[in-house]
């Protein structure tokens, strides 16, 4: 932590009891400083994150089965892709298991909703990233009634069981729900329509989804109330300021990795003997 964080990001962003309707999407919980302080700090903390991730990867190479999985949820334009590019982009790609979840394919639809998720879980030593996740199955699926209520209703419990199983088998979950305001989303969608280099991020359906904003808010509320657990808590991230959201996720990942208390894996050879051999090789 630095002087700019008065409390750890994990404490500042905990979802407990929070009302989605009350989220100030421009707030910077826990952080005291200006944008330039945040950007400066991000460049320093990215190096800390990269060093910790290298240790996780090294341990994985030596058989440690532990992993960290960052789960990113948020409405269109919330900045999920920016987190992947700018936060995860600062670590060694060899140690990253990235997966993005879109509309299920015909094959995926024939399986249980967790089928495609299980296939994408990080291997030991990896930093996994889910850009959208199994939570879409209680968000877009619920909001648009893509399955009957009796089906999505039971998914909250299924997700909690699944995540408990995951944490017990050595995966630390870092679940981040990103929130932008309806106005900020409009600004970002406009930019996607005005800049040819951003067209690729736009889908006409993104505009239609805006009409469902209240239904999404309710779905997010239930998601936080029902799936923020002791073993896998949700963090609620105000995301109007991109520099803040990137810094905050960096801090959450650093905290999660520090908790693993990683050391460099010991040599499975005798370094002194190998050095002597090298001298005469």
Cβ closest to ligand AMP, residue 147 vs residue 260: 147
Give me the least distance between CB of 273 and ligand AMP, in Å please.
53
Give me the least distance between CB of 247 and Mg ion, in Å please.
23
Residue 251 in contact with Mg ion, rule: CB under 5 A: no
Rg of the chain (C-alpha set) = 20
Give me the least distance between CB of 278 and Mg ion, in Å please.
53
Cβ closest to Mg ion, residue 76 vs residue 137: 76
Angstrom distance (rounded) from CA 131 to CA 101: 6
Q: Is 98 helix (H, G, I), strand (E, B) or coil?
A: strand
Cβ closest to ligand AMP, residue 137 vs residue 251: 137
Instruction: Indicate which of ligand AMP, Mg ion, none lies near residue 240 (CB less than 5 to 8 Å, by partner kind).
Output: none
Angstrom distance (rounded) from CA 90 to CA 27: 25
Q: Is 140 helix (H, G, I), strand (E, B) or coil?
A: helix
Give me the least distance between CB of 219 and ligand AMP, in Å please.
11
Strands 67-74 and 234-238: unpaired
Cβ neighbours for 104, distance < 8 A, ≥ 6 positions apart: 113, 116
Tell me if 137 sits within 8 A of 113, measured CB to CB.
yes
Best CA proximity match to 124, nearest among 182, 160, 166, 79: 166
Tell me if 60 sits within 8 A of 123, measured CB to CB.
yes
Residue 184 in contact with ligand AMP, rule: CB under 6 A: no
Which residue in 127, 141, 219, 257 binds ligand AMP (CB under 6 A)? Answer: 141
Angstrom distance (rounded) from CA 247 to CA 13: 12
The residue to which tokens 């404490």 are assigned: 11
Q: Which residue is nearest to Mg ion (CB)?
A: 76
Residue 151 in contact with ligand AMP, rule: CB under 6 A: no
Size of residue set near Mg ion by CB under 5 A: 1
Instruction: Indicate which of ligand AMP, Mg ion, none lies near residue 137 (CB less than 5 to 8 Å, by partner kind).
Output: ligand AMP
Give me the least distance between CB of 11 and Mg ion, in Å please.
31
Angstrom distance (rounded) from CA 143 to CA 146: 8
Residue 240 in contact with Mg ion, rule: CB under 5 A: no
Which residue in 74, 129, 137, 236 binds ligand AMP (CB under 6 A)? Answer: 137
Q: How many CB atoms lie within 10 A of CB 85?
A: 12
Give me the least distance between CB of 87 and ligand AMP, in Å please.
17
- Pick the piece of the chain touching ligand AMP (CB under 6 A) from 12-20, 32-40, 130-138, 218-226: 130-138
Angstrom distance (rounded) from CA 45 to CA 254: 8
Question: What one-character DSSP code corresponds to residue 5?
Answer: B
Which residue in 42, 45, 55, 76 binds Mg ion (CB under 5 A)? Answer: 76
Give me the least distance between CB of 57 and Mg ion, in Å please.
30
Residues that bind ligand AMP (CB under 6 A): 101-104, 132, 136-137, 140-141, 146
Residues that bind Mg ion (CB under 5 A): 76
């Amino acid at each position: 932590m630095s002087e700019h964080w008065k409390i750890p990001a994990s404490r500042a962003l905990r979802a407990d009891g929070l009302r989605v309707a009350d989220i100030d999407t421009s707030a910077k919980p826990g952080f005291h400083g200006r944008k330039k302080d945040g950007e400066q700090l991000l460049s320093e903390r990215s190096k800390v994150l990269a060093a910790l991730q290298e240790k996780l990867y090294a341990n994985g190479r030596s058989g440690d089965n532990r992993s960290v999985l960052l789960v990113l949820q948020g409405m269109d334009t919330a900045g999920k892709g920016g987190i992947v590019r700018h936060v995860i982009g600062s670590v060694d790609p060899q140690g990253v298991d990235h997966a993005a979840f879109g509309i299920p394919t015909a094959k995926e639809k024939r399986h249980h909703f967790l089928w495609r998720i299980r296939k994408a879980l990080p291997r030991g030593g990896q930093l996994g990233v889910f850009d959208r996740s199994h939570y879409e199955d209680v968000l877009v699926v619920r909001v648009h009634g893509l399955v009957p209520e009796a089906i999505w209703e039971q998914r909250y419990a299924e997700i909690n069981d699944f995540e408990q199983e995951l944490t017990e088998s050595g995966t630390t979950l870092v679940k981040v729900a990103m929130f932008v305001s309806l106005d900020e989303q409009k600004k970002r969608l406009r930019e996607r329509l005005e800049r040819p280099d951003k067209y690729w991020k736009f889908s006409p359906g993104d505009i239609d989804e805006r009409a469902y904003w209240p239904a999404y808010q309710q779905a997010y509320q239930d998601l936080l109330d029902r799936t923020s657990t002791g073993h896998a808590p949700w963090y609620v991230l105000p995301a109007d300021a991109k520099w803040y959201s990137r810094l905050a996720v960096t801090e959450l990942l650093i905290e999660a990795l520090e908790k693993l208390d990683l050391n460099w894996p010991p040599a499975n050879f005798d370094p002194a003997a190998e050095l002597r051999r090298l001298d005469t090789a």
